[in-house]
Structure 1
Amino acid sequence: MPVLILGLVLFLGVHSLRIFADGWRSRQRARLGELRWKGLYALVSLVGFALICWGFGLARQHAVLLYVPPLALRHANALFTLIAFVLVAAAYVPRNHLKAAFGHPMLLGVMVWAFGHLLATGMLHDVLLFGAFLLWAVALFVASRRRDRREGTRYPAGTLRGSALTLVIGVVAWAVFARWLHLWLIGMSPMG
């Protein structure tokens, strides 16, 4: 469990600098230069992500059961995850209605993904991983929306084409991940 916790601290910590240390972050970007700052940021993120993956695998070997979710919540998680994939797609597809309405659909996608997994799993390592990502995404979403209001940030209006493309990309990515990649990467199939 310590490796998982260290990975979460590194990964979520570096992704929380805008919330908790924006002034320090700005000074470091200016001191190091944009390219070196991005390189260091990416390196810390990758190390944190690798530790999360390794630590999660280690924690699964000594699983501690906290609660047993009803089977219906496992099925509901498929819907939560589908919604999450569409929201993440909305972060990248230009001029869609989700980005126009929420500004930060990727963070909403992380929230929905983490919440769904908290409902569907009951092991301590699951609660730690998904709970940490849920709390981080909520905090960053709130901070990002406040910053948008303070700075007067407006997102381009959504179009039917952009929204349709978002939906198609999200659904196809979800289907591929649920059918093949989840088993290959995580070691279990959500499709049963």
Structure 2
Amino acid sequence: MAILVLGLVIFIGVHSIRIVAAPWRAAQIERFGPQAWRGAFAVLSILGIVLTVHGYGLSRRYPVPVWLPPFWTAHITALLTAIAFIMIVAAYVPGNHLKRALGQPFVTGIAVWAFAHLLANGTLNDIVLFAVFLVWALIELRVENRRDREAGVVYPPAQVSRDAVVVVIGLAAWAVFAFWLHGVLIGVRPLG
């Protein structure tokens, strides 16, 4: 569990610098340059991911049950993660209604993904992993939305054709992950 927590501290910590220390971040970018900042950010992010994944895998060997999710939560989780994938894709396709309505569809998608996994997983390592991501995403969402309001950000008009692209790509990515990659990478096949 310690490696999982260390990985989360590094990954979430790096991704929270802009939230808790925006002036310091700006000073470091000014001091070292944007390329050096991105490089350090990438290295620490990868380190955090590797430690989180490794620590999660180790902690799954000796699970500590906290609660037993009812069988039907797996179905809700599947639906919510499909929605989360669509939201995440919406962050990268300009001119769609989700981006216009949510402002931060990527972070919103992470929050939905984490919440969905909390519903269907009841071990301590699952709760730690997904609760940390959920809390971080909710804080990040609030901060980013406030920044957008203060900056007067207006998202471009949306087109239904762009919405269709978002939904098709999001559902395709979700299907590949749910039916194949989740089993390969995580060792659990949520949809059989």
* TM-score, reference length from structure 1: 0.99
Distance in 1 between residues matched to 2:116 and 2:40, nearest whole Å:
32
Q: Which residue of 2 aligns with 1:127?
A: 127
Q: Which residue of 2 aligns with 1:3?
A: 3
Distance in 2 between residues matched to 1:54 and 1:102, nearest whole Å:
33
Q: Which residue of 1 aligns with 2:188?
A: 188
Give the CA deviation at 1:129: 0.2
* Aligned residue identity for 1:138: L
* Aligned residue identity for 1:87: M
Structure 1, unaligned runs of 5 or more:
none
Considering only aligned residues, what root-mean-square deviation do their CA atoms show, in Å? 0.6
Q: Which residue of 1 aligns with 2:169?
A: 169
- After the TM superposition, list the runs of 4 or more consecutive aligned residues in structure 1 that deviate by more than 6 angstroms: none
Q: Which residue of 2 aligns with 1:62?
A: 62
Q: Which residue of 2 aligns with 1:160?
A: 160
Give the CA deviation at 1:18: 1.2
Distance in 1 between residues matched to 2:127 and 2:150, nearest whole Å:
34
Give the CA deviation at 1:84: 0.4
Structure 2, unaligned runs of 5 or more:
none
Give the CA deviation at 1:28: 0.4
Distance in 2 between residues matched to 1:31 and 1:171, nearest whole Å:
42
Residue 107 (str. 1) matches residue 107 (str. 2): yes
Percent same amino acid among aligned pairs?
A: 49
* Aligned residue identity for 1:43: V
Give the CA deviation at 1:132: 0.2
Aligned to 1:92, the other structure's residue is in SS state coil
Q: Which residue of 2 aligns with 1:13?
A: 13
* TM-score, reference length from structure 2: 0.99
Give the CA deviation at 1:166: 0.3
May I ask how many residue pairs the two structures share in their alignment? 192
Distance in 1 between residues matched to 2:78 and 2:8, nearest whole Å:
24
